[in-house]
Amino acid sequence: MPTRLSPAIKNYDWGDITALPDFTGQPRDAKPWAELWFGTHPDGQATVQTGNGIKELEEIVGELSFLVKLIAVAKPLSIQTHPTIAQASAGFARENNLGIDRAAFNRVYRDGNSKPELLCALSDFEMLCGFAPIEKSLALAEQNGWLELARRLKLTGLAKTVHWALEEKNHQTPANLPNYLRAVGELYADTGGVYVAMLMNHITLKSGEAMFLEPGNVHSYLSGLAVEVMSSSDNVMRAAFTTKHVDLQEFFATAVINSHLPTQVTQRKSSNNAVDYEIKNSPFSVQKIDVNSSVTIKADHEVELYLCVQGHSGALQQGQACILRQHEVLQLEKSSVVFRVWGT
């Protein structure tokens, strides 16, 4: 029998008051619901209702190597990046040795894992992802009269311009910001993060489209509803657009600052009703199942997680998730869309 999960609810200031409660059919509570965590990370354990009461998921299936989230973005997230496994392991050990409590405000490494992420849009989803070609940024700066930004790009290049933007404190928000940056320009006026955002790729995903963010990728989400699948980690190096802890030293130590235009993840049809997201060298695998009639699925891996994101599929309805152990069977029914995730 599938094991139904209750997610950990994360109320962050960038979350949406209505989107996730409405999506999952739960009552609104006037709080910004930002993320629902379906996993075993110690910062947000999913729980299971058993005959002996409520238990944390780890007690049932052990520690999962992956974490699945539903996220709703109403305000811009921090400009951030995530470490490699080597950086995370070293950083986690270093902060432990310094005696920094794992829950402390200034803690950067909350575990020893890397945090590659697959983001699958459930609505139009706007994001900043990686840095645009310097020629494009320079032309945009000159066209809009962002003279200081243009001057620095010409004289010092991309990486040093990003350092200038984040390390210097006396900035003035430029005029003529594009529409997608109006919110950050208002919320974070006269901060260098606005200049960094001006140098990044602006991407809008349609529902069903996906991006894979490798360690070191600099990004910020602007708006929309999505599923995120990642390694079980909460290591975030923040640089701007946040009231949470900013550590520029660790951000620059882990960020990849070069011009790169990200490409969407290819979806390969693997059966009549399923597509696989093709991600190279990923510690997890993700499949999307479009259910038009009854489908029986047998778990092939030690633990698999199923998340319904559309419709009602018998054992699962929209916003619900369950766990299957190897050889267990799940019956999916009616018109629905279900994500299937397992560790590799």
Q: pLDDT tens digit string along 43-97? A: 999 999 988 899 999 999 999 999 999 999 999 999 999 999 999 999 999 999 9
Residue 257: burial class (beta carbons within 10 Å; 0-12, 13-18, 19+): buried
Q: E strand or H helix at 285, and its extent?
A: strand 284-291
If we measure between CA atoms, which residue out of 317, 329, 237 comes closest to residue 25? 317
What is the reported pLDDT for 33? Answer: 98
Side chain identity at residue 175, one-letter code: A
What is the reported pLDDT for 294? Answer: 85
> What does the pLDDT look like over 92-127, one tens digit per residue?
999 999 999 999 999 999 999 999 999 999 999 999
Quickly state the pLDDT bin for 144 (edges 50, 70, 90).
very high
Residue 83 pairs in a beta bridge with none
Q: Give me the domains of the chain, ranges plus CATH numbers.
A: 3-128+203-254 (2.60.120.10), 139-194 (no CATH), 267-343 (2.60.120.10)
> What does the pLDDT look like over 234-250, one tens digit per residue?
999 999 999 999 999 99
3 pLDDT above the threshold of 80: yes
Residues 6+ apart with CB under 8 A from 235: 82, 83, 88, 91, 92, 108, 109, 110, 111, 113, 114, 115
DSSP string, 198-234: HTEEEEEEPTT-EEEE-TT--EEEEEEEEEEEEES--
What is the reported pLDDT for 272? Answer: 79
Backbone torsions φ then ψ of 276, nearest 5 degrees: -100, 140
Quickly state the pLDDT bin for 1 (edges 50, 70, 90).
low
Side chain identity at residue 66, one-letter code: F
Side chain identity at residue 86, one-letter code: A
Average pLDDT of span 205-219:
96
9 pLDDT above the threshold of 90: yes
What is the reported pLDDT for 188? Answer: 96
Residues above pLDDT 70, as percent of the chain: 100
Mean pLDDT, the chain, whole residue set: 95
Side chain identity at residue 159, one-letter code: A
Lowest mean pLDDT among 154-163, 200-209, 332-341: 332-341
Residues above pLDDT 90, as percent of the chain: 90
> What does the pLDDT look like over 225-234, one tens digit per residue?
999 999 999 9
> What does the pLDDT look like over 249-267, one tens digit per residue?
999 999 999 998 888 999 9
Quickly state the pLDDT bin for 344 (edges 50, 70, 90).
confident
Cα–Cα distance, 311 to 23 (Å, whole number): 10
What is the reported pLDDT for 260? Answer: 87
What is the reported pLDDT for 262? Answer: 87
Asked whether the beta carbons of 230 and 119 are under 8 A apart, the reply is no
> What does the pLDDT look like over 21-47, one tens digit per residue?
999 999 999 999 999 999 999 999 999
Q: Which residue has the tokens 């699948």?
A: 229
